Structure 1
Amino acid sequence: MSLQNLLGRLETRLREEVRDQAASLSLVRDHTPADRGLTRKCSAAASTAGAGARPNRRSRARSPGAPAGGSALSRRRSRAAADAANMAETSEEVAVLVQRVVKDITNAFRRNPHIDEIGLIPCPEARYNRSPIVLVENKLGVESWCVKFLLPYVHNKLLLYRTRKQWLNKDELIDVTCTLLLLNPDFTTAWNVRKELILSGTLNPIKDLHLGKLALTKFPKSPETWIHRRWVLQQLIQETSLPSFVTKGNLGIIPAERTQQLIREEMEVCGEAAGRYPSNYNAWSHRIWVLQHLAKLDVKILLDELSSTKHWASMHVSDHSGFHYRQFLLKSLVSQTVTDGSVLEQNTLRSEPAIVLPKDEEAVASAEESRINLPHLLEEEVEFSTDLIDSYPGHETLWCHRRHVFYLQHHLNGRFPHSVVQLSPADSPGGTLSDLHLIPAGPHTSQAMEVDGLSDSSKQGYSQETKRLKRTPAPDSLGLEMEHRFIDQVLSTCRNVEQARFANAYRKWLVTLSQ
């Protein structure tokens, strides 16, 4: 039977159901597919005959042998029998149709493993004798008319498998979960089934990352997809990784080249998802997670991210999540560096083991490359904020970002130029501003800090918190004065009510900071 004939029969059956419900009488008790056409003819004839005259009260009287409410009860029973028969036959046809669609989706991925986007094609009904799965270059489209049949079927089939009421082999599980997650990626059970397949070695985790990437093109904020994506990445970076990814000499650890490739791919996925959905908190949070667990907060990667997201931020001035990501980058750079005069040096990266390098020109060159000027970066970020506030007045996100950047700059440019704002090891890089503490810098940062001329602070009862309090910088009068001038300039030229409100709120915050 061709697909067009199958769709035609299915459409005919649906129309017959509507026609049966609208009929006023149904005179057949045993309703089977063989005599369904005769039933409809009899019902139509009875309806036509009864429409000519209205029965009086006497004609409505029940005959001695007729059961109570015979006419209404008979209609209900007949209608129920007809619906049951229609549903039985329709469900079989739907099953055949859905199985073909699932197979078409599987074949599409086999023909083109580089599919990079999925979408729905508006199509209320099937008009052509062809598959509802459309593959054009690297784009996969699904005609919308089949979703109402496809999604409930695969959903119910997977639930039957999980409740051990129906057996599915591994290939069927992969195909069913793939189809289901492309249509509804927030179905946790399907992701859990694929986790089991990955742990058993049946499913390649790289393919699961690709499936999640496709689902995010249609549902860019799907939390379950992001959660599963992090789980897969953890499986790839753990020492007890899958046997198929263990190579000689690495003891199960992913090579550096593969890690770098994963980082680049994840950054691309996060960037595309953030562009498809405004203020996509899930995407930006995943990007932070990648920096923490894959990149290990590498300073070079942090600087690259700060540079690459600058243009994106200038095009999305109301995206709080995007600017929060830039704030995370700045705080992470601060926490990964120590001061050396006005130039900041990179600490030993947490992602690399301690390696003793020879004292030669290469070591000196690598040390020079690792030196960054963090105060200059903060100044550039303040200038960037100034340009955006002047160009796009009335956006609260820009003022909040400026407040955060100035807070970091205010501490770096305090009275103690040889101190730096650094996160303590127990604090998370994404913590609040109250978690920032001043750690003394110098050639011997591991030694005890002198307090009031005493080298041994423990004898005087000084705790680490006491040292931090004594190291708190005084307000940077020059920086505060420049900020107040900036606010005066904004208030004198702006005609936006919201812009004036944000500027006044920022001024009040500066006053509290200087107290």
Structure 2
Amino acid sequence: MDVDDNFPAALRIVTEIQNIVNKDVKLKEFDLVIQPESQNKSPVLHVEHCLGLETWCVRHVYQYVYQRLILHRKRLKRIEPNDVVPLLTCALLINPEVFTFWNMRKELVLSGFLELYAELHFSSLSLSFKPKCAEIFIYRRWILKNIQSNDSITNDIVLNELSVTMSAAAAYASNYSAWNHSFWIVEKSLNLKNFQIMVHQWDFTKKWCREHVSDHSCMQYRQRLLKCFISDKSCLRHLKSYFSKSLVRFFNPEEKHKIMKPSDECINEALGVIIDELYFNEDLIVMYHSHEALWNHRRFLCHLLANTYCTDSVKEVLMNNERRICTSIIKGNETFIKKHAIWLQRTLSIPIKLL
């Protein structure tokens, strides 16, 4: 039986969706609308630049487009490019995790049937439905590489890409695919000597961490940014110089304590950035108890500090600082503090005696 006979309304629905995607340049979201039965009207909804498809027809529409696309891919049935585009649009909106369909879309881009900037918009629409889909981010990177080869990636494109990525990260907790894509953008910006993008992300994710204290992917992203700051002095020059207070606080915890000063070569901006992040992490741990992501991030910072600045003064002050943390906020954090103390002893040879 021909696929047309399975669901006669499929072609009309596919065409309607493609027309909306083509005409509404402000289209921002796609989702499935729960409706178990047909209401004798179009299942395609278009309201306030949002596109929806009623659930009762999803299986039939997807089966229709999938069968046709596979037949075309295997060269068992010839379909004109203009007819393939609507099929791919519907297929990738409903299920964007089929990499074969994205490859077919790439071929249409290279053939001139699809435009690069329009594909950025379409893939962001697909991303609104599946914000963690790695295939979409891979496709976006391919699009951006082609834009860069034909032209140059402007600052507006970069900021828009970061905005799309942050929207995906907000829609799905611990969205590693989104944060990984964001770091790819940062790396491209660094290659072009655009250091302000990295500074922007450093400041932005600090606010993000305050609101998403369990998002380990964001903290891992900050770890990667921090490594870039330490390895590239050009990045540090663009950061605000507010790390001196953190240095004073770290090496002089209280007036009664012996003033401990590291060797001159250790006092630099990179050390200040690490210590400032260490205190920021401490503030979050004090405010939000029992979040493993915060303690994992702290262990990374301790390891980075101890291994980047291998001096006795830094290690001794780090030991005193971690002892202070572990003894002052033990209530409500007993399990995490015990794990942290064991880790300090085993990994950094820093003994922490708990009361």
Give the TM-score taking structure 2 as reference length.
0.83
Question: What SS class does the counterpart of residue 75 from structure 2 fall into?
Answer: coil
In 1, distance between residues paired with 2:234 and 2:104? 47
**Does residue 112 in structure 1 map to residue 7 in structure 2?**
no
The equivalent residue for 1:178 is 89
Q: How does 1:187-206 map to 2 (within 5 A)?
A: 187-206=98-117
In 2, distance between residues paired with 1:185 and 1:345? 41
**Does residue 103 in structure 1 map to residue 15 in structure 2?**
yes
Q: 1:381: how far off?
A: 1.0
The equivalent residue for 1:299 is 195
Contact preservation (8 Å) 2:132, 2:168: yes
Contact preservation (8 Å) 1:102, 1:179: yes
Aligned residues: 321
Query: 5+ unaligned residues in a row in structure 1: which ranges?
Result: 1-86, 242-252, 347-371, 416-472
Q: How does 1:223-302 map to 2 (within 5 A)?
A: 223-238=134-149, 241=150, 253-254=151-152, 258-296=153-191, 298-302=194-198
**Does residue 495 in structure 1 map to residue 332 in structure 2?**
yes
User: Mean alpha-carbon deviation: is it higher for 505-514 or for 192-201?
Assistant: 505-514
User: Mean alpha-carbon deviation: is it higher for 288-297 or for 321-330?
Assistant: 288-297
The equivalent residue for 1:395 is 291
Counterparts in 2 of 1:475 and 1:383: CA distance versus 1, 3 Å: closer
Counterparts in 2 of 1:197 and 1:226: CA distance versus 1, 3 Å: same
In 2, distance between residues paired with 1:184 and 1:286? 20
Question: What SS class does the counterpart of residue 271 from structure 1 fall into?
Answer: helix
Query: 5+ unaligned residues in a row in structure 2: which ranges?
Result: 239-267
Contact preservation (8 Å) 1:263, 1:295: no
Q: 1:92: how far off?
A: 4.4
Q: 1:406: how far off?
A: 2.8
The equivalent residue for 2:255 is none
In 1, distance between residues paired with 2:277 and 2:116? 39
Q: How does 1:89-488 map to 2 (within 5 A)?
A: 92-128=4-40, 130-238=41-149, 241=150, 253-254=151-152, 258-296=153-191, 298-337=194-233, 345=237, 373-410=269-306, 415=311, 476-488=315-327
Contact preservation (8 Å) 1:281, 1:321: yes
Structure 2 residue identity aligned to 1:381: E
Q: 1:176: how far off?
A: 0.8
The equivalent residue for 1:504 is 341
Q: 1:499: how far off?
A: 3.0
Give the TM-score taking structure 1 as reference length.
0.58
Counterparts in 2 of 1:502 and 1:392: CA distance versus 1, 3 Å: farther
In 2, distance between residues paired with 1:496 and 1:398? 12
In 2, distance between residues paired with 1:313 and 1:386? 12
Counterparts in 2 of 1:479 and 1:504: CA distance versus 1, 3 Å: closer
Contact preservation (8 Å) 1:302, 1:333: no
Q: 1:166: how far off?
A: 1.6
The one-character-per-residue Cα deviations of 1:128-181 (angstroms, maximum 9, x if unpaired) are 3x2111100111010111111100000000011112222221211111101110
Counterparts in 2 of 1:488 and 1:338: CA distance versus 1, 3 Å: farther
In 2, distance between residues paired with 1:189 and 1:511? 47
In 2, distance between residues paired with 1:209 and 1:401? 33
Q: 1:345: how far off?
A: 4.5
Contact preservation (8 Å) 2:65, 2:90: yes
Structure 2 residue identity aligned to 1:267: L
Counterparts in 2 of 1:92 and 1:123: CA distance versus 1, 3 Å: same
Question: What SS class does the counterpart of residue 154 from structure 2 fall into?
Answer: helix
Structure 2 residue identity aligned to 1:266: E
Percent of pairs identical after alignment?
A: 31
Counterparts in 2 of 1:273 and 1:304: CA distance versus 1, 3 Å: same
- Higher-Rg member (1/2): 1
The equivalent residue for 2:249 is none
Counterparts in 2 of 1:513 and 1:229: CA distance versus 1, 3 Å: farther
More helix by share: 2
Contact preservation (8 Å) 2:128, 2:168: yes
